[in-house]
Amino acid sequence: MITRRIGSRQVSAIGLGAMPMSTAGHMPDEAQSIRTIHAALDAGVTLIDTADAYTPSHTDVGHNERLVAKALASWSGDAGSVLVSTKGGHTRTPGGGWGRDSRPEYLFQACDRSLKALGVESIGLYFHHRPDPQVPYEVAIGAIKDLVEAGKVQTAGVSNADPEQLRIAREILGDDLVAVQNEFSPRFRTSEPEIDVAEEIDIAFLSWSPLGGMGSAAELGSRHAAFGEIAAAHGVSPQQVCLAWQLARSPRIVPIPGASRPESILDSLKALDLALSADELARLNSGS
């Protein structure tokens, strides 16, 4: 398994995004989800991304975290070799909506809830999930720092952050800041500046929805012709081309494609064996 660095740890260069396993209207049964996680782990994945807000209902906060914990507990391998990243500060509201709460007291509560859901004494990587316009960013990240100092969190990250917020987080968290997690895909390329800052301050960039999101991943090749045509030339899926393109963009990028079937994550992992030429990468970068 090709690896990349997050903080002091080496993890698989492609991780598993667990969110689709807890999405209302699309989630598989628990047995299929556990098979998917086990297939990823058996193939060498050592990074699983989850969040307390990944849940089919606001009444079941932590659903995805508990699912990941159950899969790890029942896996035959060494669960200690797997880095589980989770997040706090994004909330769920009645009717399937989303909210934000970065008050320190809420982040402390959310972290304690995640510790319980994951069944651990300390979280390997904990992200501030999304900036809250009602709470100064410095205050929210200060709360994350407090969680690290309390030993509840081993390393910290920020998600959905812009370059200025990344620099604020670096100033507050110092070396405890090991990753940023932002959306990046052929459809959504506006995180290029954050990738550059991640390289500058030497942290990992975890790309969420790297294939364009749950509703668009299957049409990646038809929506973005270059990816489909280059995939056809190599005899691989457009999704593999997309992930190989991201891996080539920066050594700090770790894509975390979502999956709810073993076949999906196993296809994604084949991107690690795909070498794209300079001309192909230039075409993909241009979006033509």
As assigned by CATH, the class of the 3-215+250-260 domain is alpha beta
- 54 labelled catalytic: yes
Burial (CB < 10 A; 0-12, 13-18, 19+), residue 196, is: middle
**Count H helices, E strands: the chain?**
11, 12
- Binning pLDDT at 50, 70 and 90, where does residue 69 land? very high
What pLDDT, in 10s, does the model give residues 79-123? 999 999 999 999 999 988 999 999 999 999 999 999 999 999 999
| Mean pLDDT of all residues in 116-132 | 98
Domain positions in the chain are: 3-215+250-260
Cβ-Cβ contacts under 8 Å for 105 (sequence gap 6 or more): none
Encoded amino acid at 75, one letter: W
Marked catalytic residue, from 54, 106, 126, 137: 54
- Does residue 25 surpass a pLDDT of 90? no
Q: pLDDT tens-digit profile of 258-281?
A: 999 999 999 999 999 999 999 999
Element (H, E) at 204: strand 204-208
Q: What is the pTM of this model?
A: 0.96
